Amino acid sequence: MDYEKLTRVMRRLSLEAGDKIMEIYARDDFEVKSKSDDSPVTAADEAADRIISDGLRASFPDVLLVTEEQSATHSATGRTFLIVDPLDGTKEFIHRRGDFTVNIALVEDGVPTRGVVYAPAKKRMFFTGAGGESVEETGDFIKDNVGPLKRISVSSPDDTALMVVASKSHRDQATDDYIARYDVKDMKSAGSSLKFCLVATGEADLYPRLGRTMEWDTAAGHAVLKGAGGDVVRFDDLSPLTYGKEGFANPFFIAFAPGVTLKKG
């Protein structure tokens, strides 16, 4: 894989998709449909999917591609593929809360190794460089000209005063009960894959997810977190969260900065 090219292409496509998403977001009204699993989908999801899918297939025709909006056509892919959630946080988008993201990742041998997470309404972009290190870009997000970059790194957590981030739209009693097993200094709420990025930047130490997710929801954020020195493990046995599973469904998981003493589910 040409990682330099991949980084350029993923970044540019995320910006192009973000522009289309924000164009639709600015409308007075937009149609919301339901998919077969009753999750919502909008014109923004579908338009962003077309932009990213067409761009990735043109640039990397020999690499398998999995996207949320075309998931009905996918079967288990093996261990190496590109995976896309063109609009993660559709509920945040519908309710105009801003915590939605564009997510593109490369999975190699079952591990997300490169990824981009772009939050167009928040004007935050995180991605892995060609060498696998994670950065946050600031500036005007010009498509063919990378702006100022800041290397990001997880915190050195204090187990007696942890910063925890949890889902804004999917918080439940089981999550609260699990968080209560830790000594928590403060809590943040965030939508979509931004939660991984808050751990990656050191703004949080721990993100537990006790709810349904799919591989396209997590791969890009997982890659960014790994590139910042963090990781993601299964909730049940603390083994690594892997990709390329039949059906693409994830088990419950924990994203964290090393130094947090994890507790099994």
80: Cβ contacts below 8 Å, ≥ 6 apart: 63, 64, 106, 107, 108, 109, 244
Q: How confident is the model at residue 131 (pLDDT cuts 50, 70, 90)?
A: very high
pLDDT value for 122: 95
CATH fold, domain 3-151, is Fructose-1,6-Bisphosphatase; Chain A, domain 1 (3.30.540)
So where are the chain's domains?
3-151, 162-256
Specify the range with the lowest mean pLDDT, choosing from 34-48, 95-109, 210-224, 227-241. Answer: 34-48
pLDDT value for 165: 97
162-256 CATH: 3.40.190.80
Surface-to-core class of residue 129, CB atoms within 10 Å of its CB (0-12 exposed, 13-18 middle, 19+ buried): middle
pLDDT at 170 over 80: no
Specify the range with the lowest mean pLDDT, choosing from 76-80, 194-198, 206-210, 248-252. Answer: 76-80
- Please say whether the beta carbons of 124 and 137 come within 8 A: no
pLDDT-above-90 percentage for the chain: 79
Task: State how far the alpha carbon of 13 is from the alpha carbons of 20, 47, 95, 123, 165, in Å.
Answer: 11, 12, 25, 15, 28
pLDDT value for 75: 62
pLDDT value for 151: 98
> The pTM is what?
0.94
Segment 155-160 mean pLDDT: 97
Q: How confident is the model at residue 96 (pLDDT cuts 50, 70, 90)?
A: confident
pLDDT at 79 over 90: no
Pick the more confident residue, 84 or 29: 84
pLDDT value for 169: 67
pLDDT at 109 over 90: yes
pLDDT at 76 over 60: no
**DSSP-assigned states of every residue in 8-58:** HHHHHHHHHHHHHHHHHHTSS---EEE-TTS-EEEHHHHHHHHHHHHHHHH
pLDDT at 35 over 60: no
Segment 204-217 mean pLDDT: 96
Half-sphere exposure of 164 (CA within 13 A, CB side): 25
